[in-house]
Amino acid sequence: MVAAAAVRVPFVSPGLSSLFWTRGLLTMKLLAHILCLSLALAWAQSQEAHASAVLDRCQGLEMDAVAVNEEGIPYFFKGDHLFKGFHGKAELSNGSFAELDDHHHLGHVDAAFRMHYEDNPDHDHMFFFLDNKVFSFYQHKLEDGYPKDISEVFPGIPDHLDAAVECPKPECDEDSVIFFKKDDIYHYNVRTKAVDEKEFKSMPNCTSAFRFMEHYYCFHGHMFSKFDPKTGEVHGRYPKEARDYFMRCSKFSDDSDHVERERCSRVHLDAITSDNAGNMYAFRGHHFIRKDEGNDTLKADTIENAFKELHSEVDAVFSYEGHLYMIKDDHLYLYKVGEPHTHLDGYPKPVKEELGIEGPIEAAFVCEDHHIAHIIKEGKIYDVELKASPRVAANERPISLLKKVDAAMCDATGIKVITGNHLYHFESTMVFVTAKSLPEQKRVSLELFGCDH
Chunked in runs of 10, what are the mean pLDDT values of the chain (453 residues)?
A: 44 46 49 48 41 67 88 87 85 83 66 86 89 92 93 96 95 95 94 93 88 90 90 88 79 69 87 90 92 84 89 92 94 92 95 95 91 96 96 95 93 92 94 93 91 76
CA 312 – CA 411 distance, rounded (Å): 25
The predicted pLDDT at position 40 comes to 42
Q: What's the rounded Cα separation, in Å, for the pair 261 and 384?
A: 35
Position 86 scores a pLDDT of: 83
pLDDT of residue 89: 84
Q: How many CB atoms lie within 10 A of CB 24?
A: 10
Half-sphere exposure of 40 (CA within 13 A, CB side): 6
Contact 194, 182 (CB under 8 A): no
Q: What is the C-alpha to C-alpha distance for residues 107 and 126, in angstroms, rounded to an integer?
A: 18
Q: Which amino acid is at 323?
A: H
pLDDT in the model for residue 73? 84
Which domains are seen in the chain, by residue range? 57-245 (2.110.10.10), 260-449 (2.110.10.10)
CB of 242 closer than 8 Å to CB of 224: yes
Cα–Cα dist 291/277, whole Å? 11
Phi–psi pair at 243, nearest 5 degrees:
-65, -25
- Is the Cβ–Cβ distance between 115 and 125 less than 8 Å? yes
Residue 452's alpha-carbon distances to 263, 325, 443, 447, 449, in angstroms, are 10, 31, 9, 9, 9
Residue 344: the pLDDT is: 95
Q: Provide CB contacts within 8 A for 167, sequence distance 6+.
A: 175, 176, 177, 178, 187, 211, 216, 229
CB atoms under 10 Å from CB of 52, counted, come to 7
pTM score: 0.66
| Maximum C-alpha span of the chain | 127
pLDDT of residue 253: 60
For residue 353, what are the CA distances in angstroms to 74, 112, 256, 332, 348?
A: 38, 48, 41, 9, 11
Predicted local confidence at residue 37, as pLDDT: 46
Omega before 340 within 30 of 0, i.e. cis: yes
Which of 201, 268, 247, 207 lies closest to 407 in space, CA to CA?
Answer: 268
Provide the pLDDT for residue 19: 43
Enumerate long-range contacts of 155-160, CB under 8 Å, 24 or more apart: 155/193, 155/195, 156/186, 156/188, 156/193, 156/194, 156/195, 157/186, 157/188, 157/195, 158/184, 158/186, 159/131, 159/132, 160/110, 160/131, 160/132
Name every residue whose Cβ is closer than 8 Å to that of residue 172 and which is 6 or more positions away in sequence: 178, 187, 229, 230
3-state SS, residue 86: coil
Integer CA distances (angstroms), 325 to 99, 315, 351, in order: 47, 11, 10
3-class SS string, 338-371: CCCCEECCCCCEEHHHHHCCCCCCCEEEECCCCC
Quote the DSSP letter at residue 234.
Answer: B
Distances from the Cα of 321 to the Cαs of 334, 343, 357, 366, in angstroms? 12, 15, 21, 10
CA distance 318 to 273: 5
Q: Given this model, what pLDDT does residue 152 score? A: 96
Note the pLDDT of residue 142. 92
**Residues 315, 360: contact at Cβ < 8 Å?**
yes
